[in-house]
Amino acid sequence: MDARIIFLLGMTATLRSLLISAKPLQQIPVQIAKESELVDYLVKYGYLTYPDHKIGRAISLRELKIAIKKMQRFAGLPETGLITDPKALAMVKRTRCGLSDFGPSDLARRKRRYAIQGTKWRKQEVTYRIENYTPDIKNKEDVDRTFEKALKLWSSASGLIFKREDNVNLEPDIRVKFVTGFHGDSRPADGPGGELAHAFFPGADNAGIDGDIHLDDDETFTINVQDGVDLLWVMVHELGHSLGLDHTYHPESVMFAYYMGYVPNLKLDKDDIEGIQKLYGLPDVERVTPSPDPTPKTCSDVKPDAVVTTKDKRTYVFSGKHFWEIKDLGGSDGPFLIKDYWRGLQDNIDASYTQSPHGHTIFLKGDRFWVYVNKEPLYGPGHISELNLPDELANVDGALEWNRNGKIYLFKGSNYWRYDKTRQKIEDGYPRHISAWRGIPSNVNAVFQWKNGRSYFFKGTKYYAFDDYSVKVLESPNPYPRDVAAYWMGCTNPEIKLQPRLSASTLGSVPNLFLFPLFFMTSQLL
C-alpha cells in the first residue's frame, strides 16, 4: 500500500480529537470511526475497489481522495477528500440502508437527483406478503397497516397497484421478512446500529429473492414515536429499492441512504415522485365528466373533443367516452367505447395529433400525455413537461402538425403556440393570438388536417375549413361554420342529410409551384 496512506491510517486519536474540536459539536455525531473503518466503508458501499495484495492491487492516494469526495458528495458534506475529515468519519457510524450507494449502473454525477437502478416490474400490479413479524410491535395488524401505508405512498404517486397475496401456495413478487444474522442471502444482518435493512431490486436475477425486503430484527422498531427505528421510514425506503429505485444524493428524499429519524406525516419528496413516475408512469387521471355521457343517439349529440388521423391513415373523432371512425367517402362507424379499443387511454381527452415521420399519435389530457401507434400504446401517461411543454398548456384545446411546415401547433383559449418537434421545444415568440388564423374563433374544441391537406377546426357541433395557403377560413361555396353532423359523422338522423366533404383529390387543384412563395410567407407568419 502507498506509504502516504499507511501514514494517514496511523494518525493518532489525539490528532483526531483536535480536528473534531474545531467544528461545532452539534454538527458532529458523538461516535467517530477510525480511518481504517472509513476505508472499509468506502469499499463496502461501492466507492472504492478493495486492495488485493496477491495481485499487487493497492489503493493510490488519488483513488482514495476521489472515493472520499464521492462519499462526501453523496452524504451532502463538503468535499474535502481527507481521510481525517471528522464529518466523513462520523458518517461511517450513521445508521443507514444496507444497499451499496454505487454499482455498475452508477456514474459519479447523475443528471437527475433521483436514481433508477436499471430494472423494474414489467407490470402494473405487484403482489406482496409479510412472512413474519417483529416482537418489538405486539399487534401484527399495526405492522400490516404500516406496510400498507408505505405501499400507498408509492402507488398514489405512480401507476402501480399492490395486492396482498395470502395464498401460501403462490409466490408473491415482494416478500417482507424480519431477519437476524446470516439468513441465507449475501448480506447478513449486522445487529443493532449500522445497517437497518436491505432489499433486492426487481428482476435482477437474485435467485428467487427479487424485490424481497429484509429488516434487521436486532433493531428496535417502533411506530409513530421518536424512540427506536421508525418502521414506516424503513419500509418506504426499502420498498423503493424493491420497485427499482436506487439511492439518491438528495437528503430530503426518502431514498437517501442514511436514516433520518422519525418524520411525522412522512411523505415522498418530489425527487422520489419523479423517480417512481419515470419507472411506472403517473397515477390514473380522475375522469371528469360534467354530466352523464350516454351513447349519442343522433348526429347532433356529437361534440368532438379531438379529431386525429393515425399512421394507418384512419381518422377518428373522440367525444366523451366514445369514438367514431370517419370514412373517406362520407359517414362514420361507431360509436365505440374508448376503453374497449385504446388500451390505457382516458376518456374526455383534450387534444391529439400525429407526428411525422414515425406516425406517433400524441393524446393530451390535463397535464398528461399518451403515445400510440395506431391503437397500440407506446408510452404513458407521462407529464407534459417530458415534451418540454409549459404548465400553461395543461388542458389544451386542440393540436395538429401543420403539413405546410412540419411544426406542431397547440391552441388554448385565444392563443396558440408553435412547437419545434426536432428541437423539442416551444419556439421563441409564442404564444400568439389566434386571430393570425383568420376566421377561427377562440376556445376551439379540436383541430386536425384532413387528407385533402386542409386544416379543420371544431367548436361545439360546428366546424370551420381553413385554407392553409391563404391563411383564412374558406368562404365559398357555402359559408362556415357548418354542422359536424351533416358533413362529417353521417349518424342515423332523419332530420339531417349527409353532405359531401372535400376529397383528397381536391388538394392538387392549384399548382404547388405558384403557391410556394405564398406558402413560405404564411408558414413564417404563423
The residues annotated with a catalytic role in the active site are 238
Q: Are strands 455-459 and 432-433 parallel, antiparallel or unpaired?
A: unpaired
The answer to whether 183 is annotated as binding is yes
185: nearest Cα among 202, 171, 199: 199
Residues 6+ apart with CB under 8 A from 93: 29, 31, 32, 33, 193
The answer to whether 293 is annotated as binding is no
The answer to whether 217 is annotated as binding is yes
User: Which of 124-135 are b and which e, b meaning 16 or more Cβ less than 10 Å from the residue's Cβ?
Assistant: eebbbbbeebbe
The answer to whether 237 is annotated as binding is yes
The answer to whether 247 is annotated as binding is yes
The answer to whether 250 is annotated as binding is no
Q: Are residues 394 and 377 in contact, defined by beta-carbon separation less than 8 angstroms? A: no
The answer to whether 198 is annotated as binding is yes
The answer to whether 173 is annotated as binding is yes
The answer to whether 358 is annotated as binding is no
Q: Are residues 154 and 193 in contact, defined by beta-carbon separation less than 8 angstroms? A: no
The answer to whether 97 is annotated as binding is yes
411: nearest Cα among 388, 387, 437, 386: 437
Radius of gyration of the chain (CA): 31
The answer to whether 46 is annotated as binding is no
The answer to whether 299 is annotated as binding is no
Residues 6+ apart with CB under 8 A from 338: 318, 321, 322, 323, 345, 346, 347
Q: Note the Cα 305 to chain centre separation in Å.
A: 26
Q: Are strands 376-383 and 174-179 parallel, antiparallel or unpaired?
A: unpaired
**130, amino acid identity:** I
Q: Which three cell numbers stand for residue 407?
A: 411544426
The answer to whether 216 is annotated as binding is yes
The answer to whether 235 is annotated as binding is no
**185, amino acid identity:** D
118: nearest Cα among 289, 7, 279, 293: 279
The answer to whether 350 is annotated as binding is yes
Residues 6+ apart with CB under 8 A from 514: none
Query: From CA 380, how far away is CA 363, in angstroms rounded?
Result: 10
Query: From CA 40, how far away is CA 298, in angstroms rounded?
Result: 76
Query: From CA 240, how far away is CA 200, in angstroms rounded?
Result: 10
The answer to whether 142 is annotated as binding is no
The answer to whether 322 is annotated as binding is no
The answer to whether 428 is annotated as binding is no
- DSSP string covering 375-443: TEEEEEEEEGGGGT--GGGTT--EEEEETTTTEEEEEETTEEEEEETTTTEEPTT--EEGGGSBTPPSS
Annotated binding-site members: 97, 136, 173, 183, 185, 190-191, 198, 212, 214, 216-217, 219, 237, 241, 247, 255, 305, 350, 399, 447
Annotated binding-site members for Zn(2+): 97, 183, 185, 198, 214, 237, 241, 247, 255
Annotated binding-site members for Ca(2+): 136, 173, 190-191, 212, 216-217, 219, 305, 350, 399, 447
